[in-house]
Structure 1
Amino acid sequence: MTKLVLIDGSSYLYRAFHALPPLSNAAGEPTGALFGVVNMLRGHLKEAPEHMAFVLDASGPTFRDALFPAYKAQRPPMPDELRAQVAPMMEIVAALGIPILRVPGVEADDVIGTLAVLGAAQGMAVVVSTSDKDMAQLVRPGVVLVNTMSGSRLDSDAAVLAKFGVRAEQIIDYLALMGDAVDNIPGVPKCGPKTAAKWLAEYHTLDGVIANADKIGGKIGESLREALPRLPLNRDLTTIKTDVVLEQGPAELALRARDVEALRGLYARYGFNQALKELDGDAASSIAAPAKLPSTSGRGFVAPLPTTATPIDPGLSAAGEYACVLTPAQLDAWVAQLHAADAFAIDTETDSLDPLQANLVGISLSVTPGKACYIPLAHDSPGAPAQLPREVVLQTLRPLLSDPDKHKIGQHGKYDLHVLARHGVALQGYADDTMLESFVLEAGIARHDMDTLAQRHLGYTTVKYDAVTGKGAKKIPFAQVSVDDATRYAAEDADITLRLHRVLGAKLAAEPALQTVYRQIEMPLVPVLARVEDNGVLIDIEVLRKQSAELSRRMLAAQQRATELAGRSFNLDSPKQLGALLFDELKLPALVKTPGGAPSTNEEALEAIADQHELPRIILEYRGLAKLRSTYTDKLPEMVNPHTGRVHTSYHQAGAATGRLSSSDPNLQNIPIRSEDGRRIRTAFIAPPGRQLVACDYSQIELRIMAHLSEDPALVRAFEQGADIHRATAAEVFGKPIGEVSANERRAAKAINFGLIYGMGAFGLARQLGIGRGEAQDYIALYFSRYPGVRDYMERTRALARDRGYVETVFGRRLTLEYIHSRNAAQRAGAERAAINAPMQGTAADIIKRAMVAVDGWLAGHRTQALMILQVHDELVFEVDADFVPELLHSVPALMTSAAQLKVPLVVDSGVGENWDQAH
């Protein structure tokens, strides 16, 4: 089969420029980007393709600029060092005999997309060589994406799904939802890859997501609804054209003969010695391999990186003095420095992302900015030097690590606490965490990882993990990374952590309220969360298996019934087949349409016609059962830790801007409890023999915080009297005695109570209650007439947010409102809604965090009798000896209610059972 290789020249030129150090030739001309591109081209040519093209963006505007004038508007001009390398790159490409394509009015992506589709249609094996994720939309039979810099390969829909969480045909919609900061395409705020993939898994297409936007809750749902008007344009901008009119088709892109003399002169000028040897017939060196850094064995320090075009690992850049500790004398010297210091930064390197199963590969330490060491413990790469025994190193460091008076500094140090504990070292004195310092200072900033923080606060580009381990199929475990490369990477982690702490700590010190949040809430919580994660929760795998089997039987029954109703077999998971059946064959009314006007088969559409035919109801039942099985009953047993027999979730402190904890692997906070099938999943979370589960849950905490913040007399009075707050609200709104409130009136009052604190308007309330918008507006007006303090609080808060650009919790946590002054009315309205809700959600988060710290302190004297095993929203779950349950029920709720002093009482509801469902 004829092979066609399409090179995304623009992508590789910039990628090589930013990935490689600032190399230069003997004359001082920059060569870094040129070196990377040439090596990539030589790699492709080694595979002897018959057809090839090097595609670049043409100068001038494209059709996307006409669609969206701000498209790529924020991009800075090409750096002079890069611009100087474009002309020689074109000379080398031409001398290699590779056709060069530049088509005005479109981008290189569109040219590549058109050629890829044409080539595959003509029976060619098309390889698209790019580092651009947008190109994944081109993957199909006959079209493969390769990234020669990372070694990754996308050759099927399954490969795309594994990498991005969506199919190739969904990539356009995936990009439209996320937006693209590089191209200045604004997506849905806070919608990252996981959220976009989740929505598309549920609703299949962008049109499906748009049609179901009202069903997506929380802040992200608000963001989605605000972004709806621009999403169709986003889709147009992210769609690669495959119908560009070209002067040359795939068959006309045959490789020409190389101009050997021209290449010899160019390679010699730019110092590409390996390429020059290859040109002169040295087949053994046909591809320039990255050279290793100078060995650290016996010297302790890594030599400076070369500044000429010597091939080196991409991404490795000069830093401080980084020592590799390989001898007892070197270790003793560093221990002496640690003893003399008031504080030091520490980081661990392991062989797993799961801290409860990870094995220690090395430890890095830093006492002074610009100096750090790495102690390799388990590197087994070829030629690896002899390393100090792990137990010897840990025994030597243990007195320092377990000394509570010796302050340690880390970045996401909870992971390191777990790893060291797994190796018998109880880290004490963990005093500062740069991730949490950043989070408290800038909760509205999406990323608090070390690489991002180093760039933002230090102007420093760190060595990336993938630069030393590789990517994709070529990725190696960290234990197989050479000790030299590992030293540069790992020691830098400790060094940058220390440097960041110096900067972020000073910023916190200048903000007393934020410093209090950091010192009294976030930092004390780190070891508490580590203990909760380590405790884990016991699950009954057999119960889950039975539930999976039952769900499967019910899914099969639903499939069979659907087939009977349809009169033929069809794919229940195919919206296209379902739409044809419901609306073309059965002639059911299409009451819900996609934005494009086509009949929708989403949940809302099926609910709308479920009373007209049994089939839509069966499809809804099938979908609900399938989601429960795939997400929970099948998956949870696979996540049991083989060493403990328990499920151990990971809690994230620096996730939600409000301070709310989130969890993952597994996410135990999203187990559904509104349906009987969902609640049954909690029955699989059990207590071991002789123990019970106890759940302690704050009652209506956000409404109580609203009463505290608004100081509305009627609302405060209702909570002080211990009234059913929703019934009390209904009595106020509808002007009748509390005993005469109907169930529907209470339901309406509940929707108003919770809806208003989340910024719900008349439209949303009307949809939720199934009433007219005018009637819903009347309900809201009545509410504010009876609770004027709530209205006044909302108005004050909006004004304060506009004035300061942020709001605060009761405890001083600051919540920045990025769009409070936006010219976009939808964005501005969303920020104002956030200004109302964030202080309540943030205060609730602060309260339960304070409670966890207090409860953990009390549990310190009862570790053998009770464990805190879960935190879910406003609830804490404990595993308790049966005879200790009364004492825990006496002490824990009291500690939780004393975590804050509000103008209304905090109330904690408690339950006990053999499983979580019984206790909840």
Structure 2
Amino acid sequence: MKRLVLIDGSSYLYRAFHALPPLNNEAGEPTGALFGVVNMLRAHLKEQPDYIAFVVDAPGPTFRDELYPAYKANRQAMPDDLRAQVEPMCEIVQALGFRILRIGGVEADDVIGTLATQGAADDIEVTISTGDKDFAQLVRPGIALVNTMSGSRYDGEAAVVEKFGVRPDQIVDFLALMGDSVDNIPGVEKCGPKTAAKWLGEFGTLDNVIAHADDIKGKIGENLRAALSRLPLNRTLTTIKTDVALDYRPRDLVLQPRDVETLRRLYARYGFKQALRELEAPAGAAGDDDAGKISVRGTAAGYARGSVAAEAVDPALAVPGQYDCIVDDPQLQGWLAKLRGADAFAFDVETDSLDPMRADLVGISFAVEPGHGAYLPLGHTYPGAPAQLPRAAVLEALRPLFADPLKRKIGQHGKYDLHVLRRHGVDVRGYADDTMLESFVYNATATRHDMDSLARRYLGYDTIKYEDVAGKGAKAISFAQVALDDATRYAAEDADVTLRLHRALAPKLAAEPALERVYREIEMPLVPVLERVEANGVLIDADELRRQSNDLGKRMLAAQQKATELAGRSFSLDSPKQLGQLLFEELKLPALVKTPSGAPSTNEEALEAIADLHELPRVILEYRGLAKLRSTYTDKLPEMVNPDTGRVHTSYHQAGAATGRLASNDPNLQNIPIRTDDGRRIRDAFIAPAGRKIVSFDYSQIELRIMAHLSEDAGLLRAFESGADIHRATAAEVFGKSLDEVSGNERRAAKAINFGLMYGMSAFGLARNLGIARGEAQDYIALYFSRYPGVRDFMERTRQQARDRGFVETVFGRRLYLENINARNQGLRAGAERAAINAPMQGTAADIIKRAMVDVDDWLEAHRSQALMVLQVHDELVFEVDAGFVDTLRTEVSARMAAAAQLRVPLVVDSGVGENWGQAH
């Protein structure tokens, strides 16, 4: 079937302009929007459609302006930086061979709608490339939408329903009800997508909604009835025309030959280096369908649909792959020979569970060269499944390869695979590269770091999704039930794409030596360490947690009774709607915090803001705190004990926070409150077995020490070198007193400033924190900076470096990109500036404890029977240790943690010992 791509040029120009930072070429000309559009066009060219057009709005009014003079009246004039990019954009589009379509009197949407319906009627497969939701009304057999910025695709009614809650034939009515603030079309007040979808689900059409307007109760019903007269016009304005008189048909839109000289000139002028390098290469690089004799062939599932922000793609890494399914011994021996002969291989395991501590191995996939891979099924059990090689014998044959430290293994989030293989008797050594971590270190914020996202960004390749082969929701099946052909396409592609990603990402890291060191010296050595910590798990006292749950339940009931007494009536403390009505309508308390939709908020911040005005918000906050501890920890942790080990096993995620801090989940053990008695009690339930102790090591004020190191402020360095209480020493410096003369309030103020500055706290925030006037808080900050001018200079220097380079760095060279540091929006820019100050300190602290974990784990190699590392919580490491080995452990671990970085001030490590974590902390 022939294929037609219709590109909504106006939409992408604006979206690229607002999505990307304000880039400029060497001459200072703006290039951000142009860069985005050119990348999107190159992505479409790689798909090699039969017909393609670039459609933009023509100047002048359209028929919609005649129907409704206020149509788009609130749109601001095109920004000058964007206007300057329109002409070169059109030059590049034409030079690439695209037909540029502009039709007066109608919008680009109408031209696209007409060509799309004509194409579908001519049995042409039509793709509309846009980010505009209005086009969802055109989706039908033969017409699909793709958003190359987000990678989303709507290719049938089900996809539209999943996204919007209504069918394609209901989209116009959906839009008419909601209105469109961008186009200045007023809808029903307070009618958002959920309400519009609900009405259309109940009544079917806009006409029926109008007919039943009197049946809709409440304020929203009043709003609907007030809008009835304008809804028919809304429907007309939001309907895309499909009958525009055009001088051409879809089959006239053949791509024309490129004007290479013009492209070369424009690419050079605007600094599009990768586009210049690709200029002489063919536009697409599809594979040869007859080339392979392999049993299963990979599909590209929308091959090369890269996003507008995608990296430059090597076409050789973006073609569909060819895959084997290994089901007999000759095939196995052939692949074992390939693996033995390769310097490195990528691998991936398939299992029946997301929990690596319980997952059963279903199969393993391998790749030794891009575009080729194999799947070795070991546990598919569906009726009629082909015979598979015996798992024990296969693992025995693979064990020497995985155990060889000189044989480099490559994975994607390989810690999971290491767990599964270890539990099945295969220890992996030589785990050399992890594409999730390569991407994370290269640019932590450019994309998510799952395989699907990385393949789109760095390969221009859409992978087969798990739900494509196993289904989703209630109809999902275990991977053990997936047919071998489907399993091979999915699983072998995982190993193949992992290898391709490594080939794409390794050169990027190699070009940045500091990032390469972070990856090689911090992140990769940490993978097996974390796998061991997770596997060790931690022992909990389930009976103690049940006692705590019982106590928390009694106190929750008391809080409920107190709240009912204060309210004068009963209400649900768990219902934001009932709570909002009580606080803001009945008690008339001010709504100081609003939701994004403008409604009064009842979240924690909102209740804190009014807690001094009435006792009830404070009681609600107390109730919520108790309920969260109970549901998250005291009730849940006993249920999470692994029946095989008798322990709780958390999972640490290396590629979570952009600063490099580890995240903990299933369960999250890093968010147990430490400043409350209840939080500390929960730690009492983390215990040591008989004959052992819990030992905790914690860096003392590490981020402040890093601030002193980075700022080189003489006063701050002196305060740390003295070994005195840093907050008391700061207070003495700021208020001009001796250490003995500093009052408790002065120390508290100094502590608030010390920590607040690292997180960008304003005078308003400090005033609220200390309960003082804003002017007094501003005086405190001014006095602080007068005593510590190096800190002020460091903060300003860091902001400027972030503005100039777009990123800041940790002491060890980890980069933290700040996409909004030069944003036009003041709020976004201020947030990025605060992050620029904090990220080097928090990121350096993360790097330090990771380095310490690697060094400590290496020392523990010879002492694993005597001590286990069982937890990492921010700046703290927790161990379970033989009672007779405690002193040795404290000496060795403290020394290694203190030596994990050489700063201008000493790193201080506190340690404690106890029968449980609470006693040791």
Residues 821-861 of structure 1 show CA distances to partners (whole Å, capped at 9, x for unaligned) of: 22222222222222221111111111000000000001111
Look up the equivalent residue of 2:295 and give its one-letter code: F
The 1:378–1:88 alpha-carbon spacing in structure 2 relative to 1, beyond 3 Å, is: same
Letter in 2 for 1:693: I
Counterpart of 1:534, as a letter, is A
Equivalent residue, structure 2, for 1:341: 342
- Give, as a single letter, the amino acid of the residue that structure 1 aligns with 2:781: I
SS in 2 for 1:245: helix
Corresponding residue number in structure 2 for 1:301:
295
Whole-Å separation in 2 of the counterparts to 1:634 and 1:326? 46
Residue identity opposite 1:245 in structure 2:
L
SS in 1 for 2:813: coil
Q: How does 1:199-218 map to 2 (within 5 A)?
A: none
Mapped to 2, the partners of 1:481 and 1:487 lie a distance apart of: 10
In the alignment, the residues of structure 1 paired with residue 396 and residue 475 of structure 2 have an alpha-carbon distance, to the nearest angstrom, of 35
Q: Deviations for 1:380-400, whole angstroms, at most 9, x for unmatched residues?
A: 234321111111111111111
Task: Compute the displacement of 1:541 (Å).
Answer: 1.2
Residue in structure 1 matched with residue 817 of structure 2 by the alignment: 816
Shifted more, 872-881 versus 462-471: the winner is: 462-471
Give the direction of change, closer, same or farther, for the CA distance of 1:326–1:422 in structure 2 (3 Å limit): same
Distance 1:531 1:242, change over 3 A: farther
Larger displacement relative to structure 2 (770-779 or 747-756)? 770-779
1:655-703 per-position Cα deviation (integer Å, ceiling 9, x unaligned): 1111111111111111111211122111111111111111100000010
The alpha-carbon deviation at position 757 of structure 1 amounts to 1.2
Residues 555-588 of structure 1 show CA distances to partners (whole Å, capped at 9, x for unaligned) of 1222233334444322222344345545665x56
Separation of aligned partners in 1, 2:589 and 2:656:
43
Separation of aligned partners in 2, 1:891 and 1:705 = 23
* Kept in 1: contact 2:299–2:464 (CA 8 A): no
1:245 to 231, 253, 258: 231
Match in the other structure for 1:86: 117
Q: Distance in 2 between matches of 1:508 and 1:304?
A: 28
Which residue of structure 2 aligns with residue 756 of structure 1? 757
CA distance in 2, matches of 1:108, 1:445: 28
Other-structure match for 1:678: 679
So what's the TM-score if we normalise by structure 2?
0.69
- Distance in 2, Cα, partners of 1:83 & 1:371: 43
Structure 1 partner of 2:590: 590
Alignment of structure 1 residues 248-647 onto 2, 5 Å: 301-303=295-297, 319-582=320-583, 587=587, 589-590=589-590, 592=592, 594=594, 601-603=602-604, 606-607=607-608, 614-647=615-648
Cα 1:737–1:135 shift into 2, 3 Å: same
Contact 1:407 1:431 in 2 (8 A): yes
Q: 1:393 to 1:300 in 2, by over 3 A?
A: farther
Deviations 1:502-535 (A, max 9, x none): 1211121121111111111111000000001111
Residue by residue, what CA displacement relative to the aligned partner does 1:315-351 show, whole Å, maximum 9, x if unpaired?
xx97222111111111011111111111111111111
Deviation at 1:597, TM superposition (A): 8.5
After superposition, give the CA deviation of every residue in 1:456-486 in whole Å (9 maximum; x if it has no partner). 1222221111111122222211111110111
Distance 1:64 1:696 in 2: 65
Partners of 2:297 and 2:112 lie apart in 1 by: 25
SS in 1 for 2:912: strand
| Partner Cα separation in structure 1 for residue 363 and residue 109 of structure 2 | 40
Aligned to 1:668: 669
- Cα drift, residue 796 of structure 1: 1.9
CA distance in 2, matches of 1:80, 1:501: 43
1:347–1:410 Cα contact (<8 Å) kept:
yes
Alignment of 1:828 onto 2:816: no
Q: One-letter code of the match for 1:711? A: E
For structure 2, list consecutive stretches of 5 or more residues without a partner in the other structure: 1-6, 8-39, 52-61, 94-107, 124-131, 140-155, 172-189, 198-226, 236-291, 303-317
Q: Distance in 1 between matches of 2:563 and 2:828?
A: 43
Indicate the residue corresponding to 1:706 in structure 2. Answer: 707
Distance across 1 between alignment mates of 2:300 and 2:804: 52
Is contact 1:134–1:172 with CA below 8 Å preserved after alignment? no
Change (3 A) 1:723 1:170: farther
**Cα distance in 1, alignment partners of residues 677 and 838 from structure 2:** 30
Q: Please, which moves more after superposition, 860-869 or 624-633?
A: 624-633
8 Å Cα contact 2:64/2:71 also seen in 1: no
The 1-side partners of 2:666 and 2:582 are apart by 38
452-461 vs 652-661, greater mean Cα deviation: 452-461
Q: Report if the CA contact (8 A) 1:304-1:318 is conserved.
A: no
Task: Give the drift of 1:110.
Answer: 10
Change (3 A) 1:432 1:474: same
Contact 1:372 1:495 in 2 (8 A): yes
- Evaluate the alpha carbon distance shift between residue 636 and residue 832 of structure 1 in structure 2; reply closer, same or farther with a 3 A threshold: same
Q: SS of the counterpart of 1:621? A: helix
**Structure 1 partner of 2:739:** 738
Residue 850 in structure 1 maps to residue 879 in structure 2: no
Letter in 2 for 1:911: G
Whether the 8 Å CA contact 1:652–1:663 is kept in 2: the answer is: yes
Name the counterpart of 2:208: none
The residue aligned with 1:898 is 899
Match of 1:795 in 2: 796
- CA-to-aligned-CA distance 1:116-155 (integer Å, 9 cap, x gap): xxxxxxxxxxx9955455535x8xxxx99999xxxxxxxx
Q: Secondary structure at the match of 2:719?
A: helix
Gaps of 5+ in 1: 1-9, 11-17, 23-27, 31-57, 93-104, 113-126, 148-167, 176-240, 250-297, 309-316
- Partner amino acid, structure 2, of 1:302: V
* 2:231 counterpart SS class: coil
Would you say the 8 A contact 1:129–1:146 is kept in 2?
Answer: no
Q: Give the residue type in structure 1 aligned to 2:749.
A: A
Match of 1:868, SS state, is strand
**Helix, strand or coil at the partner of 1:812:** coil
Per the alignment, in what secondary structure is the counterpart of residue 409 of structure 1? Answer: strand
Quote the residue 2:862 is aligned against. 861
Query: Could you tell me whether the CA contact under 8 Å between 1:300 and 1:325 is conserved in 2?
Result: no
Task: Work out whether residues 447 and 453 of structure 2, in 8 Å CA contact, stay in contact via their aligned partners in 1.
Answer: no
SS of the counterpart of 2:327?
coil
CA change 1:874–1:79 in 2 (3 A) is farther
SS of residue in 2 equivalent to 1:646 = coil
Report Cα offsets for 1:731-783 as digits up to 9, x if no partner.
11111111100111001000110111111121211121111221111111111
Aligned AA for 1:590? P
Deviation at 1:617, TM superposition (A): 3.8
Alignment-derived partner of residue 239 in structure 2: none
Amino acid at match of 1:87: Q
The SS at the match of 2:367 is strand
Q: In the aligned structure 2, how far is the partner of 1:356 from the partner of 1:468?
A: 24
Q: 1:82 to 1:367 in 2, by over 3 A?
A: farther
Instruction: Give TM-score scaled by structure 1 length.
Output: 0.69
> In the alignment, what sits opposite 2:839?
838
> Is the 1:351–1:359 Cα contact (8 Å) retained in structure 2?
yes
Which structure 2 residues correspond to residues 648-659 of structure 1 after superposition, within 5 A? 648-659=649-660
Name the amino acid aligned to 2:362: V
- Displacement of 1:603: 4.3
Distance 1:458 1:567, change over 3 A: closer
User: 1:368 and 1:732 mapped to 2: Cα distance?
Assistant: 63
Structure 2 distance, partners of 1:145, 1:574, is 36
Query: 1:610-661: per-residue Cα shift (whole Å, max 9, x none)?
Result: 5666544433322221121122211222222121111111111111111111
Deviation of the 1:450 alpha carbon: 1.4
